[in-house]
Structure formats: structure tokens, C-alpha cells
């Protein structure tokens, strides 16, 4: 190489050289800013909510559910609270769970693209049996779609029956 060509080359940046400029560093989000954002929506619009016990994480889940499915989740939550006075709530595996302390979980909810799936963990013991089959022996499902008419009477009966049974303990 000649002297002239070596001078015309620009120095390469090493892999360890930071790519951000002082201005970019100043505009980065501050610690705690992530909590202020809405939860990430997973496949089908199911909100990503951290595992936690209590009403607050369940309400955060419901608030983050998009569109008509939010109304369906609010309806379910209110119906369950009315039907089972001492219900215990939690979010586990990005889904609200409802149970009785010391007896386990009797119901779970999960949002998919076109429906909200209600899981009755002891569903084969309910009368009438909820319509959705499962690979698990005791589990039955109810899918709630946007165009469905909600049956308060039947859902209340299922919730009360489910809450009276021994629940699922993971």
C-alpha cells in the first residue's frame, strides 16, 4: 500500500465502540418507564401480565384486553364475583384464574384472536356439561365469541357449581 491510499481510508469502528451518541443516550427511557406502558399483547390479543395474586393484576389484564373481548372479560369477572363471594383471583401464565383458598382454581380465562376461552377445571362434573371438549379428562371449555348471546343464568350456575368442587392445584 502506498502512503496516499492508507491516508484515504477511514478508520473502522471496533465492535466494542458504542453506537449511541450522547443525544441518543439522553433520550433513552428512564428506569420505571416500562411499567407505565400498556402490557404487550401476545398472540390473539392476550395481554402479557406478570404473575401475581389478587384483584389488581386481574383488573390490569382485563383493562389491557382489546376490543369486544374486554367487555366479555368484565362480564365474566363481575359474574364470578357476584356468584362466589370469597373468590380468590390471580394472574398465572398470562391468564386470570379464579379459585377458593384451600380448594384450588375452578376457572381460568384466556383470550384468543376470535374468542375468549373459559376453562372449567372440573367441567365434566358440571351440569349440563360445558360444550367444549378437552384432552384433559376433567376439563371442559366454553368459547365466547363476539356474536354470542351471553347467558347469565347458565354461566352463574356453572360458576357456582365449579366453585363448590375441589379445584385444580398446579
Per-residue pLDDT tens digits for 103-128: 999 999 999 999 999 999 999 999 99
Query: Cell numbers of 103, please?
Result: 380448594
Instruction: For 24-60, give one letter per residue: b (16+ CB within 10 A) or e.
Output: eeeeeeeeeeeeeeebeeeeebbbebeeeeeeebbbb
The pLDDT score that the predictor gives to residue 3 is 52
The pLDDT score that the predictor gives to residue 29 is 43
> What is the pTM for the complete model shown?
0.77
Confidence of residue 39 (pLDDT cuts 50, 70, 90): confident
Per-residue pLDDT tens digits for 2-27: 454 545 455 454 444 444 433 443 44
Per-residue pLDDT tens digits for 125-157: 999 999 999 999 999 999 999 999 999 999 999
Per-residue pLDDT tens digits for 58-91: 999 999 999 999 999 999 999 999 999 999 999 9
Question: All domains of the chain, ordered by start, with CATH?
Answer: 39-164 (3.90.1150.200)
Amino acid at each position: 500500500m502506498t502512503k496516499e491510499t492508507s491516508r484515504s481510508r477511514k478508520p473502522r469502528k471496533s465492535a466494542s465502540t458504542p453506537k449511541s451518541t450522547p443525544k441518543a443516550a439522553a433520550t433513552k427511557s428512564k428506569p420505571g418507564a416500562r411499567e407505565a406502558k400498556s402490557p404487550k399483547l401476545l398472540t390473539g390479543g392476550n395481554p402479557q401480565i406478570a404473575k401475581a395474586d389478587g384483584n389488581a393484576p386481574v383488573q390490569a389484564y382485563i383493562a389491557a384486553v382489546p376490543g369486544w373481548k374486554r367487555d366479555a372479560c368484565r362480564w365474566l369477572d363481575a359474574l364470578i364475583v357476584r356468584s362466589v363471594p370469597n373468590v380468590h383471583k390471580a394472574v398465572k401464565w398470562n391468564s386470570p384464574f379464579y379459585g377458593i383458598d384451600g380448594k384450588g382454581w375452578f376457572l381460568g380465562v384466556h383470550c384468543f384472536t376470535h374468542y375468549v376461552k373459559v376453562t372449567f377445571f372440573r367441567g365434566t362434573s358440571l351440569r349440563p356439561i360445558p360444550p367444549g371438549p378437552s384432552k384433559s379428562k376433567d376439563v371442559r371449555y366454553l368459547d365466547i365469541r363476539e356474536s354470542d348471546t351471553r347467558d347469565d343464568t347458565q354461566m352463574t350456575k356453572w360458576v357456582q357449581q365449579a366453585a363448590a368442587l375441589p379445584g385444580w392445584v398446579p
